[in-house]
């Protein structure tokens, strides 16, 4: 299975190890992983900011880069959702591109969804030990149905205990550009998320979207919590 990895711009800039963890997991599932070097961003910030022209330009770029693969996988529910469900709408007025976007759409997956439902990964390369609480990111949860998949993978790690937090499905307040346009509201929402997560006394807060994780980690540290780890699910699944 030839899989194109869409690294995501945040992972590229902030947490390369998540990208490498994703590769490790996909290879463990028997995939041939290719990382197109020209990739940048899926264009979601432009689309969500109301800039259709820029969003379309970047959508076409991603489609051209990835349509040759059997599958496209991203370690982010938000980006995967944008490529899968956003592109056809963005390119609705350009029939040729719409056809290409639609053809790509059904082959785009969020990492845990792909590992569980397509690649059917049985044995994990990692052996993380500790308690975790899982934050369900909005786009993954509500648009792609990512809920059971990360939990199924965590359950394969014998030394991991999952402590569910209250309101795990509620937004962390990140919201992409929202977090820098309305910083105070965003931080207030993040505080509620952090309080719910910390109340579980888990060693680590885990999620599938780096945007949310940076938001949660930033708030946690500002609140004076230096010990609770904030990790991407791929890091947990590959931790040695």
Partner 1 sequence: MESRSHRFKENAAAALANPVLQASMKKAKGKFVDKRAIAIKEIDDFEGTREAAKQLRDRVLENLDLWLEKFESNATARGATVLWAKDGEEICRHVAEIGKRHGIKKAVKSKSMLSEEAGLNQALEANGIQPVETDLGEYILQINNNEPPSHIIAPVVHKSLDEVADLFEKVHKTPRKTEIPALTREAREVLRTHFLTADMGISGGNFLVAETGSVALVTNEGNGRMVTTLPRVHVVITGIEKVIPTLEDLSTLMRLLPRSATGQSISNYVSVLTGTKAADELDGPEHLYYILVDNGRADVIGSEFQEMLRCIRCGACMNHCPVYQAIGGHAYGWVYPGPMGSVLTPLYTGLENAIDLPHAATLCNQCGVVCPVKIPLPDLLRKLREKQTDRNLRPWLERAALKAWAFVAASPTLYALGVWFGVRYLKWLAGGKASIPVLSVAPEWTRGRDFPAPEGRTFRELYAQRKQP
Of 110, 131, 130, 134, the closest CA to residue 193 belongs to 134
Q: How far apart are CA 25 and CA 233, in angstroms?
A: 11
Q: Would you say 118 or 167 has its CB closer to partner 1?
A: 167
Of 174, 163, 166, the closest CA to residue 212 belongs to 174
Per rule CB under 8 A, is residue 175 in the interface with partner 1? yes
| 52, 147, 151, 156: residue in contact with partner 1 (rule CB under 8 A) | 52
Tell me, residue by residue from 8 to 47, as one string, x for binding to partner 1 by CB under 8 A and - for no binding: -x-xxxxxxx-xx--------------x-xxxxx-x-xxx
Per rule CB under 8 A, is residue 57 in the interface with partner 1? yes
The two three-digit tokens of residue 122, written as one number: 């049985």
The region, left, alpha or beta by phi > 0 then psi within -120 to 50, assigned to residue 170 is: beta
What is the phi/psi pair of residue 81, to 5°? Answer: -65, -40
What's the 3-state SS for 78-96? HHHHHHHHHHHHHCCCCHH
| 105, 142, 168, 195: residue in contact with partner 1 (rule CB under 8 A) | 142
Residues 195-224 that bind partner 1 (CB under 8 A): 214-215, 217-219, 221-222
Q: Would you say 43 or 208 has its CB closer to partner 1?
A: 43
Residue showing tokens 């599932």: 29
Contact 232, 213 (CB under 8 A): yes
Q: Smallest gap, in angstroms, from Cβ of residue 30 to partner 1?
A: 20
The CA–CA distances, whole Å, from 216 to 67, 165, 191, 193, 238 equal 34, 14, 8, 7, 21
Q: Smallest gap, in angstroms, from Cβ of residue 192 to partner 1?
A: 8
- Return the sign of the alpha-carbon dihedral for residues 91, 94, 95, 99: negative
Q: Would you say 157 or 216 has its CB closer to partner 1?
A: 216
Q: Smallest gap, in angstroms, from Cβ of residue 216 to partner 1?
A: 9
Number of residues lying near partner 1 (CB under 8 A): 64
Q: Smallest gap, in angstroms, from Cβ of residue 52 to partner 1?
A: 6
Q: Which stretch binds partner 1 (CB under 8 A): 93-101, 113-121, 136-144, 200-208?
A: 136-144
Q: How far apart are CA 155 and CA 174, in angstroms?
A: 27
Q: Smallest gap, in angstroms, from Cβ of residue 61 to partner 1?
A: 6
| 25, 58, 104, 111: residue in contact with partner 1 (rule CB under 8 A) | 58
Residues at the site binding partner 1, with contacts judged by CB under 8 A: 7, 9, 11-17, 19-20, 35, 37-41, 43, 45-52, 54, 57-58, 61, 138-139, 142-143, 170-171, 173-192, 214-215, 217-219, 221-222, 230
């Amino acid at each position: 299975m030839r899989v194109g990895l869409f690294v995501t711009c945040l992972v590229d800039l902030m947490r390369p190890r998540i990208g490498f963890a994703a590769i490790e997991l996909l290879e463990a599932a028997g995939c041939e992983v290719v990382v197109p070097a020209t990739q940048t961003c899926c264009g979601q910030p432009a689309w969500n900011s109301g800039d259709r022209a820029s969003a379309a330009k970047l959508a076409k770029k991603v489609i051209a880069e990835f349509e040759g693969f059997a599958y496209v996988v991203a370690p982010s529910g938000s980006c995967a959702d944008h490529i899968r469900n956003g592109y056809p709408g963005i390119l609705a007025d350009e029939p040729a591109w719409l056809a290409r976007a639609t053809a790509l759409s059904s082959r785009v997956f969020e990492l845990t969804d792909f590992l569980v439902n397509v690649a059917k990964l049985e044995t994990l390369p990692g052996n993380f030990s500790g308690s975790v609480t899982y934050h369900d990111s909005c786009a993954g949860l509500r648009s792609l149905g990512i809920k059971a998949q990360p939990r199924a993978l965590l359950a394969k790690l014998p030394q991991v205990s999952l402590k569910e937090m209250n309101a795990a499905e509620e937004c962390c307040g990140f919201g992409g550009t929202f977090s820098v346009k309305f910083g105070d509201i965003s931080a207030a929402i993040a505080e509620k998320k952090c309080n719910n997560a910390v109340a579980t006394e888990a060693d680590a807060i885990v999620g599938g979207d780096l945007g949310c994780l940076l938001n949660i980690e930033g708030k946690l540290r500002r609140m004076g919590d230096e010990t609770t780890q904030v990790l991407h699910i791929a890091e947990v699944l590959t931790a040695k």
